Chain A
């Protein structure tokens, strides 16, 4: 294990630890949280649902946005069908009521799905801060492996508990493969 020291006087983005297995990463994330760090992130080549729990992530703004999008789609779809069939061009179809509810359900359903899906995707991308042409973590060369077979945890210098030496020492107790400082 080695610690790559970026020029000491410059502020850094954070300190990053590299792990071999997803289990180690989840365990490391849990212990990092327990140690009192809040501004840190975990990076994995594939989704690890256990990380949400380990990092205590309770941000459900995407779910809420999806719900609102779905409700708008539901109301919009039904409204559109109603407006077309009962207001804009009232048409008597075999004596059924103008607002022929069962016939409107498929379009209402489809609009709900469409708007909920689009809202989920768009709000997820926006709230993730994407597109992001520059991110400091890529300053660490080995981070390229985060999209292949390695697992990373980065404690950011913005964390109130962050201290260049203490944090590095703490990360060492998690027994990572490697620890690197991340340049800004």
Chain B
């Protein structure tokens, strides 16, 4: 039985390890980001390729931070032990947005090179969308997203710390109250953001399920990163006595649910497109089926859905920190393939579709991953690893133990 008088201090060895992870991540991140930037001038690269790969790497990891923000709000709304044990991880993850939001800038500055719609103003289809698709409003939306996401991150983190200090229910209620509208606004803004930076890569194409599809992918990445981190933290105080196999089991179930949701959204889009079979809709799939791209689709179907689905069905694999760690890491890697296939095929011409990958598509996700993890491990030890002021803390920690 866990009681309040137990210490929730971070074990000195763990503090050292987190520092080490932070340094290694920062080093790897900076090296690979430098390589990616150098790619502008190196063979196989170039300005446009740099921006494409930048978008792949950036979107994967910006999404992980945004996913953390959404999961952070969701767990305030649903309650439950799973949310209490990963709350501090979600908080640390959401704070990476402070750095990742400004990193939209290269995409905005490079928009005339990356986004073809900017040069397509003579086309009636594009002109008809000009109320939304224009550069000043693109910048304006970036400001709106930032104000909302960073505002939510800041206030959620601030109140959570206040809750720790004051142990007052007042902040717990405030956190729940802001999370409801916060979730709604997040879904709206992230849907628009996905349209702005990913969907418009195919300017004539549209899909209504796109926002949800992207958000589920982001939540999956975020959850996978948090589960993997938690599986490492359980080896040390305070998580070794605070977190039970039952918590890992529950979080593993959520990973399974998110894997299925990701597949569900992707399949919903495919089924509707397949049924309609309209020229303007199928272009997206033509570029992802022909010329070898179909194999990427097979990798996603088998590797991003079937395999993790079957693995995560197993109770033993979910309850064992070592196995759930590797499943979670694998999910992040395979999601990088998904983001890659969201971006790169759009640059193929519909008549001559050929599989294409640049070495920058490899370095950018690793570079941004290093940067993200460095920030994550920097923010994580800044506050206790458990929300000590959460009114349901003890109940959550005693979840799955009866004595």
Contact = CB atoms under 8 A, between A and B. Distances in A.
Interface in B202-250: 246
B274 A23 contact: no
B279 to A, nearest CB: 13
If over half of A's interface residues share one DSSP class (helix, strand or loop), that class is named, otherwise mixed; here it is: helix
A23 B398 CA distance: 12
B400 interface: yes
Contacts of B402: 22-23, 26-27, 48, 50
A117 to B, nearest CB: 15
A23 B400 contact: no
Interface stretch (A5-13, A102-110, A119-127, A135-143): A102-110
Contact of A105 (B267, B400, B401): B267
B275 interface: yes
B390 interface: no
If over half of B's interface residues share one DSSP class (helix, strand or loop), that class is named, otherwise mixed; here it is: helix
Contacts of B401: 50
Contacts of A48: 402
Nearest to A27: B403
Interface residues on A, range: 10 to 19
B2 interface: no
A96 interface: yes
A68 to B, nearest CB: 13
Contact of B271 (A26, A27, A96, A103): A103
Contacts, number: 28
Nearest to B403: A23
B137 to A, nearest CB: 36
Contacts of B275: 102-103
Nearest to A54: B402
A103 B276 CA distance: 12
Contacts of A106: 271
A22 B401 CA distance: 10
A103 B267 CA distance: 10
B166 interface: no
Interface string B240-271: 00000010000000000000000000010011
- Tell which of A27, A48, A100, A102 has the most Cβ of chain B within 10 Å: A102
Interface of A: 22-23, 26-27, 48-50, 94, 96, 100, 102-103, 105-106
Interface of B: 246, 267, 270-271, 274-275, 277, 400-403
10 contacts: A23-B402, A26-B402, A50-B401, A50-B402, A96-B277, A100-B274, A102-B271, A103-B274, A103-B275, A105-B267
Given A26-B402, A96-B277, 11 more contacts: A23-B403, A26-B403, A48-B402, A49-B400, A50-B400, A94-B277, A102-B267, A102-B270, A103-B271, A105-B267, A105-B271
